[in-house]
Amino acid sequence: MTNSRVLPKPAYSLDDAVKYISQNHNIDISKKDLIEYIQNEELQASIYVCGNVDSLYSINKKSIGNKISTSIIRLIVSETNICNRQFRNYSTDAPIPLEIHNDYFFLSVYIDADSEDYRNLLTYQKFWHNQKSKPLKLAEFSGYMHIYPYEFSSYNVDELLEKNYISDINSIFFNDSFSIQIEIKDHIKIQLNDIVILHNNLIKFLEMFSIIDSSYSHPEEIKKLTDKIKELEKEILSKDKTIEELSSQKSKKPSPASDNKKNAFIKSLLYIHYGEKIAENPRPHVHDPNSSPISANGAIQRSFDENGLSKHLPTGKTLLNWVKGIELDIKE
């Protein structure tokens, strides 16, 4: 058997499901086997449909020539599945839209604004609806619906494979994060090529036979998580590098020789402009609000005030610390 593997996807035709199991798990299985498992309720068959409360208009994204009449028999939904809830304070007479969906199915329901029940719908964890009673006015749906196993059970598998379709289906359903059942009123043929197995149902099937265990995660999810981890690792490395650079800059201190050179330069400027006495002790010549008011008229303070540079003048104490112990090498 080939070593090539089949990439996962949301749903598989029966032929693709055979390839997925055979090539990914090295198991000899046939399309006939899958149908028998469906008949025995060990594997769930599904179909992609689009329609509204009155009819189906496409199967497997292919338009249906004749109208297939339908009706919604049951809708059970938890509050968390309802995507738009702005109708809590709805006050007009227009129909009120609700959107309900998960990864496989989308349903748009319109609630009758005249119904006395709609305002209380979200106060219940679940609600049950029969089309004959309000509040459901209209529904549009698209996505994967399940086919009941009994729709297959009356067929001989070899004969079914030969004719290549099932007919006279009574209803289709979806039962996962919410539940909906749709009655099909007209005669309909569903080609075997249009029947699919959802990825999560295929995984449950493989788990049931211990081909994979319950800790198995979908390969595509593993890839997404792996890619995300790699992105996070790159981000962490980048941030670590930035932190290291900032820490390095923060920890870098000027060498004593560099400090002495800078302080000697400052003291030299003080010596040139104010003389030796102020250069040796500049502190009294910079204004200190907590000291003598005389310092407000100090030589250094006046120079900075007159040139509009007062905000750049350090304190007298800071200046003194810079020049203290610095010996100027003055040539005569």
Query: Does the pLDDT value for residue 4 go beyond 70?
Result: yes
Query: Does the pLDDT value for residue 129 go beyond 60?
Result: no
E strand map for the chain: 11-13, 45-52, 55-59, 62-78, 96-101, 105-111, 126-127, 136-147, 165-167, 171-175, 178-184, 189-191, 195-198
Cross-strand partners of 68 = 56
**Residue 191: how many other CB atoms lie within 10 Å:** 14
The tokens describing 132, both together, are 């004959």
Bigger pLDDT: 295 vs 59: 59
Mean pLDDT of 113-140: 49
Bigger pLDDT: 165 vs 236: 165
Bigger pLDDT: 249 vs 101: 101
Q: Give the tens place of pLDDT for each residue, 28-44.
A: 999 999 999 999 999 99
Q: Which residues of 219-238 are buried (b: 16+ CB within 10 A; e: fewer)?
A: eeeeeeeeeeeeeeeeeeee
Bigger pLDDT: 127 vs 214: 214
SS3 content of the chain, % helix, strand, coil (to 5): 45, 25, 30
What Rg value do the Cα atoms of the chain yield, rounded?
40
Q: What is the residue type of 27?
A: I
**Residue whose token pair is 């006395």:** 116
- Asked if residue 169 lies in contact with residue 151, where contact means CB atoms within 8 angstroms, the answer is yes
Cross-strand partners of 182 = 72, 172
Q: Which of 102-106, 249-253, 292-296 has the highest mean pLDDT?
A: 102-106
The helix-helix angle for 256-274 and 299-306 (nearest 10°) equals: 90
Specify the pLDDT at position 123. Answer: 38
3-class state of residue 230 by DSSP = helix
Kindly state the percentage of the chain with pLDDT values over 90: 23
How far apart, in whole angstroms, are the C-alpha atoms of residue 216 and residue 206? 10
Query: Does the pLDDT value for residue 194 go beyond 70?
Result: yes
**Residue whose token pair is 């959802």:** 198
CB proximity list for 59: less than 8 A, separation 6 or greater: 47, 48, 49, 190, 194
Q: What is the band of 216 on the pLDDT scale with cuts at 50, 70, 90?
A: low
Mean pLDDT of the chain: 78
DSSP state, residue 154: T
H or E element in which residue 18 lies: helix 14-25
Q: Give domain limits for the chain.
A: 11-216, 218-252, 256-323
- Which has the minimum average pLDDT: 167-176, 287-296, 322-331? 287-296
How far apart, in whole angstroms, are the C-alpha atoms of residue 90 and residue 119? 8
- Which has the minimum average pLDDT: 77-81, 138-142, 146-150, 179-183? 77-81
Q: What is the band of 124 on the pLDDT scale with cuts at 50, 70, 90?
A: very low
